[in-house]
């Protein structure tokens, strides 16, 4: 049961990290387009 809980926790953490990375990339792309480097 503990291993299952750990797997679920790791999966949730990985999903959160990936979503944050995608959001950060989208924000940086929008800023770059706005400034027009």
Position 36 scores a pLDDT of 63
Position 26 scores a pLDDT of 93
Q: For residues 22 and 13, what is the distance between their CA atoms, to the nearest angstrom?
A: 14
Q: For residues 8 and 16, what is the distance between their CA atoms, to the nearest angstrom?
A: 12
State pTM to two decimals: 0.61
Classify 18 in phi/psi space as left (phi over 0), alpha (psi -120 to 50) or beta: alpha
How far CA 5 is from CA of 12, 13, 14, 17, in Å, comes to: 11, 12, 14, 18
Kindly report, residue by residue over 1-37, the tens digit of the pLDDT. 799 999 999 999 999 999 999 999 999 888 777 766 5
Provide the H-helix boundaries in 1-37: 2-35
């Amino acid at each position: 049961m503990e291993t299952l809980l750990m797997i679920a926790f790791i999966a949730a953490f990985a999903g959160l990290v990936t979503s944050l990375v995608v959001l950060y990339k989208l924000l940086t792309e929008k800023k770059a387009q706005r400034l027009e480097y």
